Amino acid sequence: MTEIRSPLQAQIGQWLVQPGDSVKTGDLLLLLEAMKMEHEVRAQHGGRVAELFFGIGDLVAQGDQLLSIQWAAPAPPQLDPVVASSMPSDQNAASLRPDLQRVLDRHAPTLDASRPEALAKRHAQGQRSARENIADLCDDDSFTEYGALALAAQRSRRSESDLIANTPADGMVTGIGSINRSLFGAERAQAVVMAYDATVLAGTQGMRNHQKTDRMLGIALQQKLPVVLFAEGGGGRPGDVDMPIVAGLHVATFASFARLNGEVPVLGVAAGRCFAGNAALLGCCDVIIATQSSNIGMGGPAMVEGGGLGVFKPEQIGPSAVQHGNGVIDILVADEAKAVAAARHYLSFFQGRVHDWQAPDALALRDAVPENRLRVYDTRAVMAGIVDQGTLLELRTGFGQGIHTALARIEGRPLGILANNPLHLGGAIDADGADKAARFMQLCNAHGLALLSLVDTPGFMVGPAVEAQGQVRHVSRMFVAAAHLRVPFLSVVLRKGYGLGAMAMTAGGFHAPLFTVAWPSAEFGAMGLEGAVRLGYRKELEALAEGPEREALYAQLVAQQYQNGSAINMATTLEIDAVIDPAQTRAWVLQGLLAQRALPAPRRLAIDAW
């Protein structure tokens, strides 16, 4: 005989057995009621009920004997008097509870498989669905969706079945997934991912998807997670009538999105048409990746026409060629698949060090700069010759041609690279190049990437035409940005290191960086040496008649200036730290990266939208 005792203080709710009844293991014996909840007591072993000690409605204390059972042989071990049996009864594993089935059925319309016509139309346009892009971006089965059951706020004008079928997730897929998990582990790979669904109400911004966006942005800020936004869509949605609003200008989404600036990496992807509010969010991103078929604009055709500014097709507003050339698009790619690949590559630089890398041929750098000091060359080849193979990712290649900006790795360690471009204005720094460089410094500074500057510039661009473009303010941004750096800055002078432009490329002065070294091909001066001779020795030159004698003196003076401004002579006066074999450049940069210590806590390190 075994006593079955109460596991808690409760009331007898229902007896399901009577004395003399036979029971099997797992049979429900009675229900106890406590705090408006039912607690099951089940049989631990087969046997026969001998006696019940309480009636329905009676109160029992924890440990009170409820009933006794004559167990069938073999008898079970004596149970702890306060243990309640809650063994579930056998269920058919193939059957689903009604509540679970309702949830599964409700999620079905949010999936691509339930919307074959919309998916086929998307594919016919050469594009992928929002969920296809997310699946490609995130590691297998890692994306956890938030807010999948949201519907457009249009219940007062449309049926629920209509909304479920035609406004799944309110036109925006949001959640958290891992990106590059195989390289950095699950913890460092986490990111917030949000994608407007252009197959739902043209990817417009509804009240519900604003709420979803705000929720995810709050999580990103709180947990310091990177954000990836697929921004395609038509902007604000006028059809959401369930909310008591007039203009809807009180939403927090845009301020919340902008608040992430400088706090976490924020990456935007644009394919197809991205207008108005969607474009405003895109413009707040650190970096924009866009496809060649994209159109990006602060107003779509309807808004342009409504403003009395003419009638245009969507393809005429902000095409990719225009937006790449003016600096809006940082990375221009052929299609969404390449956009996702670029997104994974870009994010990797902010996720940590990798341990699988391959070095380039260091000796090739010895011939990267032509011996003829007047011959132009491509500094992108120098960048590629220094960093790990396959890691170089250039940003804003269509804009600010005088300065290259790129992310890369050296022995798996991420860093940012600035390089003058002698192929454009001889490497002189104009307004666009300065803007590009200053913002890139802000980007690397905010997210903790050391900076390498490859210097070959005759200085800032000068002249009436360039001054009309606000050159003074634009180029000075480089000094201001450098003055706020908290990351190591490393400088290598490849050839020309002249004037204020060279100082701007070395964080404000040659002793500002962690090191400033030069290649043997480097030459230095307060300004271009030929110009310095013409200005400084004007009287001496004009004293001679035009002809061979004057030209000979000019050549002699220029040669003297080059000797004085040679890399070796600069090193003897300690204006630079060393003159190095170009093949040693990678080793010098690596040493600089190894010298980096914990970064000081940033003051509010905003990254200019421009």
Reported as a single tens digit per residue, the pLDDT across 276-297 is 999 999 999 999 999 999 999 9
pTM equals 0.87
The residue type at 173: V
Predicted pLDDT of residue 554:
81
Predicted pLDDT of residue 174:
97
CA atoms of 31 and 15, how far apart (whole Å)? 7
* CA-CA-CA-CA torsion sign (245, 250, 256, 257): positive
Please report which helix (H) or strand (E) contains residue 275, including its range.
Answer: strand 273-275
The residue type at 464: P
Predicted pLDDT of residue 85:
46
Q: Provide the 8-state DSSP code for 203.
A: G
Low-confidence ranges of the chain (pLDDT < 70): 73-94, 246, 601-605
Predicted pLDDT of residue 75:
57
Structure tokens at 272: 């197809």
CA atoms of 340 and 333, how far apart (whole Å)? 10
CA atoms of 247 and 260, how far apart (whole Å)? 25
Are 178 and 139 contacting, i.e. CB atoms less than 8 angstroms apart?
Answer: yes
CA atoms of 196 and 553, how far apart (whole Å)? 69
For 596, residues 6+ apart whose C-beta sits below 8 A from its C-beta are 450, 487, 488
| 172 DSSP β-pair partners | 196
Predicted pLDDT of residue 541:
81
Predicted pLDDT of residue 44:
86
